[in-house]
């Protein structure tokens, strides 16, 4: 393994942002600072003087002033010694030969030899007369305080804050802005925390990281064969599958310094700060090498570059990404430092990040299968007292599609339900009720009329009966006419085993089952209600995908017309968009598929009217039917569930 590089102090000198931080700390001793301070003081003094001088006044001769008094154009005068100031009753222009614009404010000087009985004239014209003592000027201390005080106060506060920020950041760039915010965990801190024993159900991803940890612990085993550890490991997968948990397990197992932060913590309003933080992070990691850096939500800064003007935050994000690319595989490299990153959107990442030499190893963390869900439930129930009737294998079988975060939430909800009911141990009923709450929604305490309860019972019985009759359909687990969430009733179906592909026959069976509630209302009442809104949305989505993406329509053919859920037009600039005629053809085929399935649902319910009525009567009586009761009442044999692998 390469020797650990020198202390970060050598690199800080080459950091422009950090250099600026030191210049800010030494500003009071610089010539430029004093020059700026003098200019600000001068501006402050001029502004303070203008503010205290009052409004500008028109300078007029004394004879002109007296004439305006005689004409009644003077409203008020104020005398300060021989200086007379006042206001005209209307805007008045200066006499000919004098500069100035019309104004209502004037100023004049009374000659010392004047003896014209001015006071009598002013009183006769009923002019307001004021008098002020002669201004001998304000004290020196007032001139200094009001003339220079505000500027000195602001500059003093600025210098104080700059010094305190620099001291708090240990001399970091821009008062600490450019320093990395990563949290460092050492072996002593991570001992007893999350480790690989806490990770279950995602064995393939775990194995990839176990190898990385083993390299850090026993590098000679690999280096003697010429092998080198991957510079970066990218964990990708849906939310909640355990990507961050894997990184925390690596921190607990590796026994080396572990730096953890979110990608969004690099970004700041000041352009260039993100790149400075990247440099600081890698400097710290290299100084502590061997070390691991974990960056969560990498897509926040790792999106593909280009595609628009670089303005503001976009430019800052690109600079940060460029610095990460350089640190991971630049001229200096990052020997002894492994970068682990997690993202939900690997498809939007810049291609330069994914090439060998940066993120050499890409690990997809998929949702667990049934066996994996059982192992995850084992982990999360280690500290939960379970009743004898709890079968974690059965719970794992009834939770297809759930990821680790979902299963942890299920266990927590079951424990809360058991505590609320006063149970000493968590029972199977607590798990099933919590699963219904999570999947179907919480019960709503609303009172339905008898007619609406009956219509809802027929609607849900239509769904359930067609789900039982369709070959290969997912088994019906529960039927209920208790309002939950936005629905007045629910029918819950889940597969026996995990499905990874869907045939056209299976999808048509799902469409027939989805349209079963609407068909039951048409059969019994001859009309339909808005209760089928969610069913129609789901059925329309499936039919459009069958025709426009999965090639299950002969009219459209094996052509993918509709974009995938994560496709973005900017990722495929050279791919032509489908024509309007092709899109209309997809819509027409989706409509045809839905109409055929709706007709099939109506025909099948008409043929099994007695079973529909039996299910409806049972629902009206009990409100909820579980799997065994539903199949028994419908008179349909239920194939026993196959024993799942342990």
Tell me if residue 181 falls in helix, strand or coil.
coil
Q: How far apart are CA 384 and CA 388, in angstroms?
A: 13
CATH superfamily of 183-364: P-loop containing nucleotide triphosphate hydrolases (3.40.50.300)
Token pair 């409100």: residue? 623
What span, in angstroms and rounded, lies between the C-alpha atoms of 66 and 165?
A: 65
Asked if residue 492 lies in contact with residue 455, where contact means CB atoms within 8 angstroms, the answer is no
pLDDT in tens, 197-213: 777 777 777 777 888 88
Cα gap 504→11, rounded to integer Å? 62
Task: Tell me the pLDDT band of 108, cut-offs 50, 70 and 90.
Answer: confident
Q: How far apart are CA 203 and CA 424, in angstroms?
A: 34
pTM of the model: 0.63
Cα 155 to Cα 223: distance, rounded to the nearest angstrom: 58
Where are the alpha helices (H) located in 191-334, listed in sequence order?
Answer: 203-217, 219-223, 243-254, 273-287, 299-302, 313-329
> What are the strands of the beta sheet with 361-364, ordered from one edge?
183-185, 258-262, 291-296, 337-343, 232-236, 361-364
The pLDDT score that the predictor gives to residue 51 is: 52
Strands of 476-480's sheet in order across: 490-493, 476-480, 624-626
pLDDT in tens, 280-322: 888 888 888 778 888 888 888 888 876 544 444 457 777 778 8
Helix or strand (DSSP H, E) at 195: none
Residues 332-391: pLDDT tens digits?
A: 555 678 888 888 888 888 888 888 888 888 888 888 888 888 888 988 998 899 998 888
Distance separating alpha carbons of residues 343 and 350, to the nearest angstrom: 13
The CA distances from residue 339 to 149, 278, 342, 458, 566, in Å, are: 53, 12, 10, 57, 25
Q: Does 183-364 match 450-559+578-634 in CATH topology?
A: no
Residues 621-638 pLDDT 10s:
988 888 888 888 888 886
**Furthest-apart CA pair in the chain: how many Å?**
129
Identify the H or E element spanning 578: none
Using CA atoms, how far residue 73 sits from 54, 68, 110, 126, in Å, is 22, 5, 18, 11
Of 41-50, 437-446, 495-504, 569-578, give the lowest mean pLDDT range.
569-578
Q: For the domain made up of 370-440, give the CATH fold.
A: Helicase, Ruva Protein; domain 3 (1.10.8)
Name the 3-class secondary structure at 480: strand
Q: How many residues does the chain have?
A: 646
- Which residues belong to the active site? 460
Band of residue 569 on the pLDDT scale cut at 50, 70, 90? very low
The domain segmentation of the chain, as residue ranges, is 1-177, 183-364, 370-440, 450-559+578-634
Contact present, 205 and 245 (Cβ < 8 Å): no
Of residues 488 and 115, more confidence is placed in: 488
pLDDT tens digits, residue range 507-551? Answer: 998 899 999 999 999 999 988 888 888 889 999 999 999 998 888
CATH number of 1-177: 3.30.720.210
User: Any idea which residue has 């210049």 for tokens?
Assistant: 23
Distance of alpha carbon 485 from alpha carbon 467, whole angstroms: 22
Q: State the average pLDDT over residues 15-20.
A: 40
Q: Where are the alpha helices (DSSP H) in 549-645?
A: 580-607, 609-622, 627-634
CATH topology of domain 450-559+578-634: Methane Monooxygenase Hydroxylase; Chain G, domain 1 (1.20.58)
pLDDT at 436: 82
Per-chain mean pLDDT for the chain? 77
List the beta bridge partners of residue 109. Answer: 83
């Amino acid at each position: 393994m390469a020797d650990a590089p020198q202390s970060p102090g050598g690199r800080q000198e080459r950091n422009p942002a950090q250099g600026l931080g030191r210049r800010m700390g030494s500003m009071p001793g610089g010539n430029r600072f004093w020059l700026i301070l003098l200019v600000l003081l001068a501006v402050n003094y001029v502004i303070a003087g203008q503010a205290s001088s009052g409004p500008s006044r028109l300078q007029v001769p004394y004879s002109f002033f007296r004439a305006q008094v005689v004409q009644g154009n003077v409203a008020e005068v104020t005398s300060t010694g021989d200086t007379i100031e006042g206001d005209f009753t209307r805007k008045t222009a200066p006499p000919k030969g004098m500069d100035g614009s019309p104004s209502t404010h004037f100023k004049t000087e009374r000659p010392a030899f004047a003896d014209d009985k001015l006071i009598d004239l002013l009183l006769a014209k009923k002019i307001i007369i004021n008098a002020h003592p002669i201004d001998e000027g304000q004290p020196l201390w007032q001139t200094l305080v009001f003339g220079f005080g505000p500027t000195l106060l602001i500059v003093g506060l600025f210098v104080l804050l700059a010094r305190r920020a620099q001291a708090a950041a240990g001399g970091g760039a821009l008062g600490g802005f450019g320093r990395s915010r990563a949290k460092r965990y050492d072996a002593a801190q991570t001992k007893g925390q999350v480790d690989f024993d806490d990770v279950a159900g995602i064995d393939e991803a775990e194995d990839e990281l176990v190898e990385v940890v083993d390299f850090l612990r026993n590098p000679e085993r690999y280096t003697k064969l010429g092998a080198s550890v991957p510079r970066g490991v990218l964990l990708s997968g849906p939310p909640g599958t355990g990507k961050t948990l894997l990184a925390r397990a690596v921190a607990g197992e590796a026994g080396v310094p572990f730096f953890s932060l979110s990608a969004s913590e690099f970004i700041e309003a000041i352009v260039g700060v993100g790149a400075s933080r990247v440099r600081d992070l890698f400097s710290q990691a290299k100084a502590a090498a061997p070390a691991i850096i974990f960056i969560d939500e990498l897509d926040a800064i790792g999106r593909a570059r280009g595609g628009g003007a670089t303005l503001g935050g976009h430019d800052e994000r690109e600079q940060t990404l460029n610095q990460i690319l350089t640190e991971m595989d630049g001229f200096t490299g990052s020997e002894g430092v492994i970068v682990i990153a997690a993202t939900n959107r690997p498809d939007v990442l810049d291609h330069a990040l994914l090439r060998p030499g940066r993120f050499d190893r890409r690990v997809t963390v998929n949702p667990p299968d049934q066996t994996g869900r059982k192992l995850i439930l084992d982990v999360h129930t280690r500290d939960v007292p379970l009743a004898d009737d709890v079968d974690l294998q059965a719970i794992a079988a009834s939770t297809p599609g759930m990821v680790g975060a979902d299963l942890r939430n299920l266990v927590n909800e079951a424990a809360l339900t058991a505590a609320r009911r006063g149970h000493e141990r968590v029972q199977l009923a607590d798990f099933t009720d919590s699963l219904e709450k999570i999947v179907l929604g919480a019960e709503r305490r609303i009172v339905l009329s008898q007619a609406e309860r009956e219509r809802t019972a027929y609607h849900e019985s239509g769904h359930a009966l067609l789900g039982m009759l369709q070959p290969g359909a997912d088994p019906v687990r529960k039927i209920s006419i208790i309002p939950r969430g936005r629905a007045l009733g629910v029918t819950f179906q889940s597969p026996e085993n995990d499905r990874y592909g869907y045939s056209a026959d299976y999808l048509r069976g799902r469409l027939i089952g989805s349209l079963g509630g609407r068909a039951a209302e048409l059969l019994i009442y001859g009309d339909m209600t808005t209760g089928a809104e969610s069913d129609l949305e789901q059925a329309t989505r499936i039919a459009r995908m069958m025709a426009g993406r999965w090639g299950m329509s002969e009219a459209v053919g094996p052509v993918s017309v509709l974009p995938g859920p994560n496709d973005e037009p900017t990722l495929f600039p050279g791919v032509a968009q489908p024509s309007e005629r092709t899109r209309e053809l997809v819509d027409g085929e989706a409509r045809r598929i839905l109409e055929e399935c709706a007709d099939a649902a109506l025909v099948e319910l008409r043929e099994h009217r007695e079973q529909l009525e039996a299910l409806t009567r049972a629902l009206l009586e009990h409100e909820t039917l579980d799997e065994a009761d539903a199949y028994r009442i419908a008179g349909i044999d239920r194939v026993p569930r196959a024993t799942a692998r342990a």
